[in-house]
């Protein structure tokens, strides 16, 4: 179903089990070598074969009966040597996430990338969306990233390389990060002047580079320069980092996805962090937008582990008259752990732009998101999201979709990677009203391995309001190929993080 005939879960689980067993063998070997009775010689950088043979013999002699509740009691014949801080019922270590960097471990446990502070990784996300109305356009209106109805999508194949800066043991460090994204999400997350002029494929699949920056650090100060994902809001570009596989109107239509510029971050206290910098505006890489903009953030963590964070963006951005006018945007996110299992998240956003409309009117867009998450156990976490989002003048929602009247010229929203998207006739924009959506579903890890998870959810959307007579004179509605004011979706995806 998910297009991975050759990639079977049992094969992956077997491979991971072999790697975990190898790690346990290395750990046991190290313990044996540290034993005062171990007299086998070994020089620097040499793996002693005799140590591995004895370690293997020890592991072979272990028996599950040796470890008994409530603790791990050593038997006279063979001691219980747990591979984790606590010994489980079978003496085995709990599964740990596997990353692409682990491929480069050598037989002695060394890794050139890890040893030099580098991390390689990525993920694969594939989905199927069932639209209960089965629209003839095969699109889910303004709902993204799972925007295609009743069909399979490879949403993203993501790869990255990162060297995070670390000044715990030294004053200065330098690092950076680069990410590449291929899939149907790519065309919805591009920057004008970067992917738009290089990898426009003419279809729903494309390539994007969400991050491409260098970072320097001096003590508590970090300075990032280049192209990077916007810190604004609660959701982010990488779908596997979000709880749900569909995204709110607030994120898709209200906020920027990426910036190009310089951002300095400083940890003022253990609780307070601030950032400030300059960018080339919203979702812009080159001189499509010749203006400099401002990006600022602050985040405060309270004693009860709750957190309040705000992001402010100001810049001159394109309008419907194909000129640049002042745009201000802010997002406020509050996260509150109510108990060990229950977490609440609240978010409010507000955006405004001078002379944004075709007739010179100001445009405003704003909304509220409410989230609640309940962790049942390590395998199951349930979540719910209710959103109200208003596009007061009909300026944002669908106004700059691929194929829209403004995308070819100014690329003002970031949805510009190619011009094959929702047919313009079925989603012309100009929705000057209120969008609501309610989403509920679990995040499920079906195996003990944390690298795999599934996100099935139900989502209901509805719209109240009118349409702008100039932008949408035919009163085309947002859903069911332009004929309905509401829609219901069942969306599920399978994600593999590595």
Dist. CA 477–CA 138, nearest whole Å:
15
pLDDT tens for each residue of 192-243: 888 865 665 557 888 999 999 999 999 999 999 999 999 999 999 999 999 9
Provide the greatest CA pair distance for the chain: 88
pTM: 0.79
**pLDDT for position 25:** 37
Are residues 427 and 401 in contact, defined by beta-carbon separation less than 8 angstroms? yes
Torsion of CA 284, 285, 290, 294, to 10 degrees: 70
pLDDT tens for each residue of 401-414: 433 444 433 334 44
Q: Residue 422: count other Cβ atoms within 10 Å of its Cβ.
A: 25
Dist. CA 128–CA 148, nearest whole Å:
9
Low-confidence residues of the chain: pLDDT under 70: 1-94, 196-202, 399-425
Are residues 423 and 137 in contact, defined by beta-carbon separation less than 8 angstroms? yes
Partners of 35 in beta bridges: none
Dist. CA 392–CA 403, nearest whole Å:
23
**pLDDT for position 139:** 92
**pLDDT for position 322:** 85
**pLDDT for position 493:** 98
Whose CA is closest to 265, among 234, 221, 301? Answer: 221
Q: Residue 437 burial (CB < 10 Å; 0-12/13-18/19+)?
A: buried
């Amino acid at each position: 179903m998910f297009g991975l005939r050759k990639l079977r879960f049992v094969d992956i689980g077997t491979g991971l089990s072999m790697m975990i067993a190898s790690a346990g063998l290395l750990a046991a070997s190290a313990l044996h070598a540290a034993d005062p009775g171990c007299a086998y010689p070994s020089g620097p950088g040499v793996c002693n074969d005799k140590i591995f043979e004895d370690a293997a013999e020890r592991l072979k002699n272990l028996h599950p009966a040796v470890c008994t509740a409530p603790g791990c009691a050593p038997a006279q014949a063979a001691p219980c040597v747990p591979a984790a801080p606590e010994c489980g019922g079978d003496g085995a270590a709990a599964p740990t996430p596997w990353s692409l960097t682990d491929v480069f471990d050598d037989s002695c446990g060394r890794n050139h990338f890890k040893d030099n502070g580098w991390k390689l990784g990525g993920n694969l996300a594939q989905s199927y969306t069932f639209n209960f109305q089965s629209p003839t356009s095969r699109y889910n209106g303004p709902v993204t990233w799972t925007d295609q109805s009743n069909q399979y999508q490879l949403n993203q194949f993501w790869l990255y390389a990162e060297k995070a800066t670390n000044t715990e043991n030294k004053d200065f460090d330098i690092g950076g990060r680069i990410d590449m994204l291929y899939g149907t999400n790519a065309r919805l997350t591009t920057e004008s002047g970067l992917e738009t002029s290089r990898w426009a494929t003419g279809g729903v699949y494309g390539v994007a580079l969400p991050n491409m920056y260098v970072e320097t650090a001096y003590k508590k100060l970090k300075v990032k320069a280049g192209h990077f994902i916007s810190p604004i809001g609660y959701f982010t570009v990488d779908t596997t980092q979000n709880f749900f596989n569909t995204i709110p109107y607030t994120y898709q239509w209200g906020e920027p996805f990426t910036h190009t510029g310089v951002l300095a971050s400083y940890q003022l206290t253990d609780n307070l962090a601030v950032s400030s910098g300059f960018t080339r505006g919203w979702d812009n890489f080159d001189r499509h937008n010749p203006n400099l903009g401002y990006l600022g953030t602050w985040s405060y963590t309270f004693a009860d582990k709750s957190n309040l964070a705000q992001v402010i963006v100001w810049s001159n951005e394109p309008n419907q008259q194909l000129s640049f006018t002042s745009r201000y945007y802010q997002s406020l996110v509050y996260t509150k752990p109510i108990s060990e299992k229950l977490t609440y998240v609240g978010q409010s956003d507000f955006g405004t732009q001078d002379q944004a409309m075709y007739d010179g009117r100001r445009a405003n867009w704003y909304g509220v998101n409410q989230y609640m998450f309940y962790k049942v156990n390590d395998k199951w976490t349930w979540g719910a999201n209710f959103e109200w989002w208003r596009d007061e003048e009909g300026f944002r929602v669908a106004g700059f979709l691929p194929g829209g009247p403004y995308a070819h010229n100014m690329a003002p929203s970031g949805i510009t990677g190619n011009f094959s998207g929702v047919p313009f006739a079925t989603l012309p924009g100009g929705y000057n009203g209120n969008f609501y959506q309610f989403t509920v579903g679990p995040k499920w890890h079906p195996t003990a391995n944390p690298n795999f998870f599934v996100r099935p959810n139900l989502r209901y959307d509805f719209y109240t309001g009118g349409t702008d007579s100039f932008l949408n004179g035919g009163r085309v509605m947002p859903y069911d190929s332009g004929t309905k004011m509401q829609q219901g979706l069942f969306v599920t995806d399978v994600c593999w993080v590595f």
